[in-house]
């Protein structure tokens, strides 16, 4: 008997939830790769937070009614219950007392714990005794008593009523056959007919439970369903992470997902071959990043932190997939970028102003051994569209006081002011490091990955006060400080240049310093003393060892005004979208565009 109960419990758990492993490619029964996209979550990269109530509405002409169930380990939908075709709006609620009405904090009608109304869905119910092996059996019994079907821990139940208190439910027990008052766990969910207190289905499989809803009971070829102002293909999955509010996930095929990305990440009516390049990159990115947000119950988010995704659009005209963007997705179906037979790490952003950058300088990526295709390339094409690109060129002007204030917002240079900037340029002409020299003699080194946020500029491709890469002192040029130029020693001490200075050797010999002097670091590195190479303070009382990255050279700028003049918008790694547009207009194919921005990759089926 004990063994039989254990087997039954295991079987119940199996039909409550089957989740694919993190990062695994999940292929359904039709051979399609399936993606889980977070639409509402406590994840910081999902614009819509967890919800007390989540509404769905059939998009007219794209299906009617709903099926309820769960997704198995292959993300195949397993049906447990369904509505009729006339039910076009349903809402999933967490199982607490929620009322329907206008929620001023959300500025819409919805179910909420902060709303007071006569339409309330309570969390206490009366369970009828009995076993129901099928949904049809349970539904028949539910209809007899005005109740609803529930799927609780892997078995059908029939429940009646939605009372706001246990006492109210107990008072109604007398009018029903053998029964008891029940609720759900803190992971329970009820599906109601929107705007009413009528429960259509209830689901509770504990912490691991995932309720799934698949739109349409009529068999249409394509469904589109409204959620939070956008319409989506595929189905929906719900769970209460940690027993809290609802996380909502869109579950759909890979190509449907790419249709919901390409037109938002790039203009929906841009040239076909540019959109093909975008589709290849978007497909490669999601395949490479499956399970990125597994701890929240989905693969990928909807914001630019992953890829912008808004499904099939909204009611806004000329928004969402176009015939051109969908053609681009269809004609590249299954195509991805690979390097040495493995999915490549692909990145893209709006524009670069003339050249992408080696990811080594931006993020510290190993572009010698692991990711040589993220090396950065000169882009002679993007400039073709400067008249259409609001971010090329751009200008940002600060007074010295305003620049100081801007940097102090990030906790830099507190109690002092900007004296000058040392800009280190890469060989491609992008700023890969800035050393801010402060009036108190200290300095702060800002890496390429932080330059845009610290200076509030659009890219790392810029000059300051007209001085740029062509003016930079390149490695090998004299960098020895002239007489009168400060050399900082330890934390606060400093020398006024090298002239008339002497050095004491380890054997006691005293010698006058020449025009060049060198410093040996604690790790044995030998560097010539000069601008941007000495150890200096960090602007907040500490010390920072400055080792500028190898690049095109360094230029120093100062003054009462700092004018940043640049081009591009984004992180500077990978593909320029405006560059892809320009290349397509010149006749390049989508795969050629991808291979231009990621030298050495191959484009093939995943």
The predicted pLDDT at position 509 comes to: 53
Same domain, 475 and 507: yes
* Strand 211-215 versus strand 66-71 pairing type: antiparallel
For residues 498 and 232, the model is more confident at: 232
Residues 242 and 294: their CA atoms lie apart, in Å, by 14
* 331 — pLDDT class (breaks 50, 70, 90): very high
Last residue of a domain, one of 252, 271, 286: 252
What pLDDT, in 10s, does the model give residues 392-410? 899 999 999 999 999 999 9
In a domain, 548, yes or no: yes
For residues 221 and 225, the model is more confident at: 225
In a domain, 195, yes or no: yes
- 230-251 burial: b if 16+ Cβ within 10 Å, else e: bbbbbbbbbbbbeeebbbbbbb
What residues have CB less than 8 Å from 84, skipping those under 6 apart?
A: 65, 217
Same domain, 239 and 264: no
The predicted pLDDT at position 469 comes to: 87
What pLDDT, in 10s, does the model give residues 181-202? 999 999 999 999 999 999 999 9
Same domain, 358 and 435: no
Name the β-bridge partners of 128: 158, 179
Same domain, 423 and 356: no
In a domain, 32, yes or no: no
CA atoms within 13 A of residue 200's CA, in its CB half-sphere: 24
Same domain, 95 and 217: yes
In a domain, 26, yes or no: no
* Strand 602-605 versus strand 462-464 pairing type: unpaired
The predicted pLDDT at position 517 comes to: 55
The predicted pLDDT at position 323 comes to: 97
The predicted pLDDT at position 374 comes to: 97
φ/ψ of residue 582, rounded to 5: -65, -40
- pTM, whole model, 2 decimals? 0.84
260 burial via Cβ count (<10 Å: 0-12, 13-18, 19+): buried
Same domain, 306 and 281: yes
Same domain, 226 and 280: no
Name the β-bridge partners of 122: none
pLDDT at 326 over 50: yes
* 176 — pLDDT class (breaks 50, 70, 90): confident
Last residue of a domain, one of 187, 218, 252: 252
- The token pair at 100 is 């329907």
Same domain, 167 and 269: no
pLDDT at 205 over 70: yes
The predicted pLDDT at position 513 comes to: 54
- The token pair at 516 is 């060049």
Residues 104 and 295: their CA atoms lie apart, in Å, by 32
Concatenating the DSSP letter of every residue in 25-39 gives PPB-TTS-BEEEEEE
Q: How many domains does the chain have?
A: 3
Q: What is the DSSP letter of 395?
A: E
What residues have CB less than 8 Å from 156, skipping those under 6 apart?
A: 80, 132, 133, 134, 135, 137, 138, 149, 150
The predicted pLDDT at position 550 comes to: 56
Percentage of the chain exceeding pLDDT 90: 78
pLDDT at 366 over 60: yes
In a domain, 201, yes or no: yes
Same domain, 105 and 17: yes
In a domain, 106, yes or no: yes
Same domain, 284 and 307: yes
Same domain, 459 and 560: yes
In a domain, 34, yes or no: no
Last residue of a domain, one of 211, 228, 252: 252
pLDDT at 368 over 80: yes
For residues 373 and 538, the model is more confident at: 373
CA dihedral for 24, 25, 30, 35, sign (positive or negative): positive
pLDDT at 515 over 50: no
In a domain, 334, yes or no: yes
- 454-465 burial: b if 16+ Cβ within 10 Å, else e: bbebbbbbbbbe
- Report CA-CA distances (Å) from 218 to 81, 223, 461: 14, 10, 55
pLDDT at 463 over 90: yes
The predicted pLDDT at position 548 comes to: 41
pLDDT at 163 over 50: yes
pLDDT at 112 over 60: yes
* 26 — pLDDT class (breaks 50, 70, 90): confident
pLDDT at 346 over 50: yes
Please state whether 408 falls in left (phi above 0), alpha (psi between -120 and 50) or beta: alpha
What pLDDT, in 10s, does the model give residues 521-580? 443 444 444 433 333 334 443 333 334 455 679 999 999 999 999 999 999 999 999 999
* 471 — pLDDT class (breaks 50, 70, 90): confident
Residue 311 lies in domain: 257-387+571-605
The predicted pLDDT at position 233 comes to: 97
The predicted pLDDT at position 503 comes to: 55
State the residue for tokens 């190479």: 533
Please state whether 310 falls in left (phi above 0), alpha (psi between -120 and 50) or beta: alpha
Residues 36 and 251: their CA atoms lie apart, in Å, by 5
Same domain, 210 and 189: yes
What's the rounded mean pLDDT across residues 265-293? 97
Residues 15 and 71: their CA atoms lie apart, in Å, by 9
- The token pair at 135 is 């949904």
> H/E element holding 517?
none
| Contact of 68 with 211, CB cutoff 8 Å | yes
What pLDDT, in 10s, does the model give residues 246-258? 999 999 999 999 9
């Amino acid at each position: 008997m004990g063994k039989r109960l254990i087997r039954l419990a295991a079987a119940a758990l199996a039909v409550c939830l089957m989740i694919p492993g993190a990062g695994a490619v999940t292929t359904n029964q039709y051979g399609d790769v399936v993606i889980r996209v977070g639409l509402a979550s406590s994840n910081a990269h999902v614009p819509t937070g967890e919800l007390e109530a989540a509404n769905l509405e059939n998009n007219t002409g794209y299906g009617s009614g709903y099926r309820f169930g769960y997704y198995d380990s292959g993300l195949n939908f397993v049906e447990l219950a369904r509505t009729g075709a006339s039910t076009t709006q349903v809402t999933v609620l967490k199982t607490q007392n929620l009322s329907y009405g206008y929620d001023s904090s959300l500025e819409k009608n919805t179910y909420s714990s902060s709303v007071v109304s006569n339409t309330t869905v309570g969390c206490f119910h009366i369970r009828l005794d009995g076993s129901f092996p099928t949904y049809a059996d349970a539904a028949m019994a539910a209809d007899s008593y005005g109740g609803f079907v529930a799927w609780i821990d892997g078995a059908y139940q029939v429940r009646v009523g939605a009372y706001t208190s246990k006492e109210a439910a107990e008072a109604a027990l007398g009018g029903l056959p053998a029964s008891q008052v029940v609720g759900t766990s803190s992971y329970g969910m009820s599906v109601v007919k929107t705007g009413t207190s009528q429960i259509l289905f209830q689901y509770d499989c504990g912490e691991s439970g995932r309720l799934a809803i698949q739109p349409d009971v009529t068999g249409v070829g394509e469904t589109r369903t409204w959620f939070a102002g956008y319409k989506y293909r595929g189905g929906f999955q719900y769970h209460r992470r940690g027993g809290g509010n609802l996380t909502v996930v869109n579950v759909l095929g890979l190509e449907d997902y790419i249709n919901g990305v390409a037109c938002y990440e790039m203009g929906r009516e841009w040239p076909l071959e540019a959109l093909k390049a975008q589709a290849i990159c978007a497909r490669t990115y999601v395949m490479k990043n499956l399970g990125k947000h597994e701890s929240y119950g989905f693969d990928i988010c909807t914001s630019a932190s992953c890829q912008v995704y808004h499904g099939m659009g909204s009611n806004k005209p000329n928004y969402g997939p176009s015939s051109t963007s969908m053609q681009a997705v269809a004609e590249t179906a299954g195509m991805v970028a690979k390097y040495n037979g493995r999915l490549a790490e692909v990145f893209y952003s709006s524009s670069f102003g003339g050249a992408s950058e080696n990811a080594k300088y931006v993020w510290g990526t190993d572009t010698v051994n692991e990711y040589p295709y993220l090396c950065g390339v000169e882009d002679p094409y993007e400039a073709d569209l400067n008249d259409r690109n609001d971010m090329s060129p751009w200008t940002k002007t600060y007074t010295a006081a305003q620049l100081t204030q801007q940097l102090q917002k990030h906790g830099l240079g507190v109690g002092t002011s900007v004296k000058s900037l040392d800009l280190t340029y890469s060989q491609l002409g992008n700023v890969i490091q800035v050393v801010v020299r402060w009036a108190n003699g200290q300095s702060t080194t800002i890496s390429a990955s932080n330059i845009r946020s610290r200076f509030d500029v659009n890219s790392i491709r810029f000059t300051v006060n007209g001085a740029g890469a062509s003016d930079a002192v390149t490695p090998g040029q004299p960098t020895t400080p002239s007489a009168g130029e400060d050399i900082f020693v330890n934390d606060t001490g400093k020398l006024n240049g090298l002239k008339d200075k002497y050095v004491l050797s380890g054997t006691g010999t005293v010698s006058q310093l020449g025009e060049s002097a060198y410093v040996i670091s604690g790790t044995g590195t030998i560097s010539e003393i000069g601008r941007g190479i000495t150890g200096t303070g960090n602007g907040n009382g500490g010390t920072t060892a400055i080792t500028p990255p190898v690049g095109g050279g360094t230029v120093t700028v100062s003054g009462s005004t700092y004018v940043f003049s640049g081009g591009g918008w984004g992180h500077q790694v990978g593909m320029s979208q405006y560059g892809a547009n320009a290349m397509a207009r010149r006749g390049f194919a989508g795969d050629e565009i991808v291979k231009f921005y990621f030298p050495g990759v191959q484009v093939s089926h995943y």
